[in-house]
Amino acid sequence: MGEQSRRRVLQAGLGAMAGSVAVGGLGGTAGAAERAATGAAAAPADGRTTALPWVADLGDGRYRNPVLNADWSDPDVVRVGPYFYLTASTFNRIPGLPILRSRDLVNWTIIGHALTELEPRDVFDTPQHGNGVWAPAIRHHAGRFWIFYPDPDHGIFVTTAVDPSGPWTRPHVLKPGRGLIDPCPLWDDDGRAYLIHAWAKSRSGINNRLTLHEISPDGRELLDDGRIVVNGDELSGYTTLEGPKLYKRDGWYWIFAPAGGVTGGWQSAFRSRSVFGPYEDRIVLAQGDTPINGPHQGAWVTTQRGEDWFLHFQDRGVYGRVVHLQPMRWRDDGWPVMGEDDGSGRGKPVLVHRKPAVGRPSKITAPAAGDEFTGHRLGEQWTWQANADPSWASLRGGRLRLTCPPSADTADLRLLPNVLGQRFPAESFVATTSLTLRAGTPGARSGLVVLGYGYAWIGLQRLDSGLALVSRTAVQDKAEVDAATPIPLPRGRSSVRLRVEVGPGGVCRFAADVDGHGLQPVGGPFTASQGKWIGATLGLFGTAPAGAHGDAAEVDWFGVGPA
């Protein structure tokens, strides 16, 4: 096949779709200055890069929101000494309950996970999209870290650790039942302990109310039947009251909780002199005239120097629930306000602000995205779609080996547990990888995927005639179809370089190099979609038809950087 013919075929398929997408670096606000601030080197010729696709630290004593520009949904944070620790909901993904650490609430690193598998195991051995781990709470008490988290189909669980990077104890069921969500504990000054939680109407038939229990101080059992302490149905304008966080300050009990829904709601505070109420309420953070919709569900933390800050999420659809940091202060009337006070005690989100005053400066960083596969295990950014089998992935000689497990569901990647994925790391970014398929079974395949309700992938597949570059898409509830005409690999070649460039709105453009002559566009644009309660997933996979044996892919590296 001649060069011009090869280019025409690579651009076939969806290439007839009109229009082009302007892809800006870092949402149009960052560029060489921010990349230089990270100490990143220029991208090598093969497409790898050490540049971060998003940095929140502006390098001049200020930060920009979001501080975590990825799907760290339902964040909760606790400070222990000079460090802040954050966890987030992970739904069906494993490992679950990530632990992120920061010195300044702006620059974060993933240090581990609290869950290595989901139970019941026979349920979560296959993808259960939208189920599993919902909004958690992280606390430090009696020399241990504690995470209380809900599974809306099974109950409220507790896991603990001395070291936040692990190991964590096997989760204990504190309160079994359906529809129990968003738990948070409080250990009071007198040694008594309490648990507050919300309700999911999809499982329990009720919502918009918060229930409080007294629990044993060891977090092992409930000590009463619980009582409703805030009923949103009795409050004007309140819908979907959820995500409560329980605190105590200067003799007041405080519940910070969002309402109104994740896309258009607000953040409220409730206070009472008794933990059991009655509570009075005030809206303390709302969108106002900013582009930050539904500032929702987060955590109040205080620095060692006494500054108060509030982290919350913003639902951005295909990008997931990104995390914003707001300054917080206590007004003369005794109420907190987050962000910029409008004068009435209702704050609105800030876009740029001075960083928290924590003394020692922090290295400018963000959670890992790329991976050179040179360590002893996968980077902490990677997750599977269900409980994992250790045989699916291994690191050998600076490469990732992905097996191609046989499956009857190979035609739908949404049904495969062995999709290795990570969060979109920014609004605009490029991901590039080098992949080799060592497979003799027709139908065995491996590639680079963007996965949500719909998905698109590009990679290699073993056909009856040999290896070929393929590109396929599947829209929601539909089967895969070709997005471009398959391209046979040159004789003796089993490797390909792959790239996806993601721009605003989640518009993806794929490219490949099948013969060493450089990356060329494949097909046309594909608009990524979110998943069930999560943003789109960027990932790798290998799979083979039922009955196959020994097929595998090797991934040399996985580079993620600015578009």
Scan for tokens 């000079």, then name that residue: 82
CA atoms within 13 A on the CB side of 96: 29
Catalytic residue among 34, 104, 153, 242: 242
Type of residue found at 333: D
In this structure, are residues 101 and 362 in contact, taking their beta carbons and an 8 Å threshold?
no
From the list 78, 536, 165, 150, the residue with the least C-alpha distance to 322 is 536
Q: Is residue 164 within 8 Å of residue 145, measured between CB atoms?
A: yes
Closest Cα partner for 106 from 136, 66, 137?
66
Alpha-carbon distances of 357 from 66, 196, 304, 308, 367, rounded to whole Å = 18, 32, 9, 10, 22
364/345 Cα distance (integer angstroms):
33
Q: What is the three-state SS of 66-131? A: CCECCCCCCCEEEEECCEEEEECCCECCECEEEEEEECCCCCCEEEEEEECCCCCHHHHCCCCCCC
Amino acid at 365: T
Contacts of 242 (CB under 8 A, 6+ apart): 135, 181, 182, 198, 199, 207, 208, 257, 258, 259, 297
Chain centroid to Cα 376, Å, comes to 23
Of 119, 92, 94, which Cα lies nearest the Cα of 420?
94
Please say if 3 is a catalytic residue: no
CA-based R_g, the chain, Å: 24
Contact status, residue 446 vs residue 437, Cβ threshold 8 Å: yes
β-pairing verdict for 537-545 and 406-407: parallel
Q: Which residues contact 548 (CB under 8 A, 6 or more apart)?
A: 404, 406, 439, 441, 443, 444
* Rounded Cα distance, 485 and 473, in Å: 12
Element (H, E) at 496: strand 495-503
Known catalytic residue at 74 = yes
Backbone angles phi, psi at 25, to 5 degrees: -75, 130
Kindly give the residue spans of alpha helices, DSSP state H, lying in 264-402: none
Residues 6 or more apart whose CB falls under 8 angstroms from that of 424 comprise: 70, 71, 318, 319, 320, 502, 506, 528, 535, 536, 537, 538
CA 10, CA 2: separation in Å to the nearest integer? 12
Give the C-alpha separation, 317 to 25, whole Å: 20
- Check 34, 57, 71, 74 and give the catalytic one: 74
Residues taking part in catalysis: 74, 242
